[in-house]
Amino acid sequence: MSTDHDKEKEYLEELAPSIFKKKIQSNEKPPEGYFDTLGDRVMNRIDAENSHRQNMPEKKAVKLVNWKNVGVAAAIAAVIATAQFFYMYTQQDDPVAEKSEISIPQDFGSTTVEDYLSEEDIYEAFAASDIRAGEILTDEEIIEEEIIIDYLLQEDLSEELIIEELES
CA-to-CA dists, residue 147 to 6, 61, 77, angstroms: 120, 92, 70
Q: Among residues 32 and 119, whose Cβ is nearest to another protein?
A: 32
Show Cβ contacts of residue 122 under 8 Å, excluding neighbours closer than 6 positions: 114
Nearer to another protein, 52 or 63 (CB): 52
User: Nearest distance from residue 58's CB to another protein, in Å?
Assistant: 19
Q: Closer to another protein by CB, 12 or 157: give it.
A: 12
Distance, CA of 108 to CA of 114 (rounded, Å): 11
CB of 5 to another protein, least distance (A): 10
Rounded to the nearest whole angstrom, what is the least distance from the CB of residue 44 to another protein in the complex? 10
Which residues touch 145 (CB under 8 Å, ≥6 apart)?
137, 166
CB of 6 to another protein, least distance (A): 15
Q: Which is nearer to another protein, 33 or 109 (CB)?
A: 33
Where do contacts with another protein occur on this chain (CB under 8 A)? 12, 15-20, 22-31, 34-35, 38-39, 41-43, 45-46, 49
Pairwise CA distance, residues 66 & 56, whole Å: 26
Residue 16 vs 166, nearer CB to another protein: 16
CB of 61 to another protein, least distance (A): 23
Q: How far apart are the two ends of the chain, measured CA to CA in Å?
A: 120
Largest CA distance in the chain: 128
